[in-house]
Amino acid sequence: MGPAGPRVGLCGSTEQTVTEGGVAVVLTIRPKVAELVFQVYGRPLHPELFDVFQTETFRRNEYRVKIDITSAGHVITWNYAGLTLTEVAASSQHPLPTRRRLINCPMRGHRTDAVECAGKVRYETSFQLELVEPEVFWAFQAELARDGCQQGMLQQFRAGDRISLGALSYINAEARSDQFLVQAFHTFPDDYAIVKTQSLFQLP
């Protein structure tokens, strides 16, 4: 295990990547869960707006998807027949554009929403923020880490003191010819909080 060199994030924070058991571990600080917002845009967002630690792309017939794991959550950019939908889980302290923003709400409790788009494309989403007891939190995070080693995207964040256990982000996607399903889990150890999102991009 050894450092891979520091980098300065766009928000002024400094991250350093190390490797533990073949899994990238990033030294960074999550935002407080009270700052989290969920946003959806009918347009792409410039990648330089975010600190991205992992990216995966999917192509199925007529659509293309790019999933980014960021310091606060994720960015999902879905393209089909000239239509772009961008889903963002981020901090409210991270300013983002307002143009063509379709959904903008704080992450509190449980919420479901949907957007009907041109060409009979449908987007459905739900998210949940859970505040749990410490033992429940750590058990869930351990299970998430095990699952993430088998499939999907797993990003481990080390706490700022380099001793405490840090946060995890895990994203699993299912790509079919007529739909794209994404499940994301983000943990916030300082608040013993778990964010769960599920989104479906449905073709006509």
Any idea where the domains of the chain sit in the sequence? 14-202
Q: Which of 150, 190, 194, 192 shows the shortest CA–CA distance to 169?
A: 194
On the question of pLDDT at 45 being above 80, the answer is yes
List pLDDT tens digits, range 120-150: 999 999 999 999 999 999 999 999 989 888 8
Quickly tell me which residue has 């935002």 as its tokens: 31
* DSSP 8-state code for residue 134: H
Separation between Cα atoms, residue 123 and residue 83, nearest integer Å: 12
Rounded to 10 degrees, the C-alpha dihedral 167/161/149/89 comes to 30
* DSSP 8-state code for residue 32: P
List pLDDT tens digits, range 92-109: 988 899 999 999 999 999
How would you classify residue 134: left for phi > 0, otherwise alpha for psi between -120 and 50, otherwise beta?
alpha
pLDDT of residue 31: 86
Positive/negative CA dihedral, 62, 73, 143, 28: positive
pTM attached to this predicted model: 0.84
Is the model more confident about 20 or about 188?
Answer: 188
The enclosing H or E element of 146 equals: helix 134-148
Separation between Cα atoms, residue 111 and residue 128, nearest integer Å: 7
Neighbours of 92 (CB within 10 A): 17
Task: Note the Cα 167 to chain centre separation in Å.
Answer: 12
How would you classify residue 34: left for phi > 0, otherwise alpha for psi between -120 and 50, otherwise beta?
alpha
Q: What is the mean pLDDT of the chain?
A: 85
Q: What percent of the chain is modeled with pLDDT above 70?
A: 83
